[in-house]
Amino acid sequence: MTLVQSSTRLPCGNRVLDLAHTHVMGILNVTPDSFSDGGRFSQLDAALKHAEAMVSAGATLIDVGGESTRPGARAVSPLEELERVAPIVERLHRELDVIISVDTSTPAVMRESARLGAGLINDVRSLRRDGALDAAAATGLPVCLMHMLGEPGDMQDNPHYADVTREVADFLAERMVQCGAVGIPAERIILDPGFGFAKNLQHNLSLFKHMEALHALGRPLLVGVSRKSMIGQALNRPVGERLHGGLALAALAMVKGARILRVHDVAETMDVVRMITAVESAE
């Protein structure tokens, strides 16, 4: 495939994301069973208040998810997911100056979210559900393709790689080809290595160490490791005690060239981004 040099400007609906610098994406799970904050923001007013706080703290994007993708998560129907996601997308679009990302693999949710004002499709399944490629293409929005083998219910059943970084890169390159075939140009694609998805601790650590190799694909990288089990396993910390490990990885991801950091703890991560930026911009 032909590699594409990353553009610094990514149109996201009625807003533009300048990828010349690193952005923080705030996580807004409107599900009752998210691994970290399940149920806390499933009510519209609570979700909006949390989104407002994340934007005030510096988030450029809010990632709205209506289907939990934690290991062993139950599947939800397209209608149930849409009923969770659509009202908050509509409200965020109306009330906040922020790019709305929708964390979904469901074609109907992609189409309706785009109609309601979403600016980015973030799909952990890389548009592999039936109809997802065509739905994403029809929206005209940029898409984030993530590496995952299998489904959330079975992805951690003894994952195996001969070379995890190369195999992740090959997978993402193939999905970019499939996107191109339906009219989604490489210029509209963001790539996510998929930390914690179909990978054990050593896979995650090795992939993180060698993340720079993914820049050869020519597209901006999104990194999401906030509160994930790789931090818990490496540091022996429960979910509520993974902030410091997550901030260390956020700093490392930024230094390794990630352009979007997907996090729960926006204010703390913004301090990391601003501090690194201050140092790198000094004479």
From CA 110, how far away is CA 130, in angstroms rounded?
Answer: 13
Task: Give residues with Cβ within 8 angstroms of 101, minimum separation 6.
Answer: 25, 61, 62, 63, 64, 118, 119, 120, 121, 122, 144
From CA 230, how far away is CA 223, in angstroms rounded?
Answer: 13
Element (H, E) at 222: strand 222-223
Q: Strand, coil or helix: what is 8?
A: coil
From CA 138, how far away is CA 248, in angstroms rounded?
Answer: 38
Task: Give residues with Cβ within 8 angstroms of 213, minimum separation 6.
Answer: 165, 166, 169
Q: What single string gives the DSSP state of each residue in 183-206?
A: T--GGGEEEE--TTSS--HHHHHH
Q: 228 an active-site residue? A: yes
Q: Chain-centre distance of CA 43, in angstroms?
A: 22
Q: Which residue has the tokens 């922020």?
A: 98
Element (H, E) at 246: helix 243-255
Identify the active-site residue in 91, 175, 242, 262.
262
Q: Chain-centre distance of CA 110, in angstroms?
A: 15
From CA 3, how far away is CA 202, in angstroms rounded?
Answer: 29
Identify the active-site residue in 111, 199, 228, 259.
228
Q: In what order do the strands lie in the sheet with 23-29?
A: 189-192, 143-146, 120-123, 99-103, 61-65, 23-29, 260-263, 222-223
Catalytic residue ranges:
228, 262
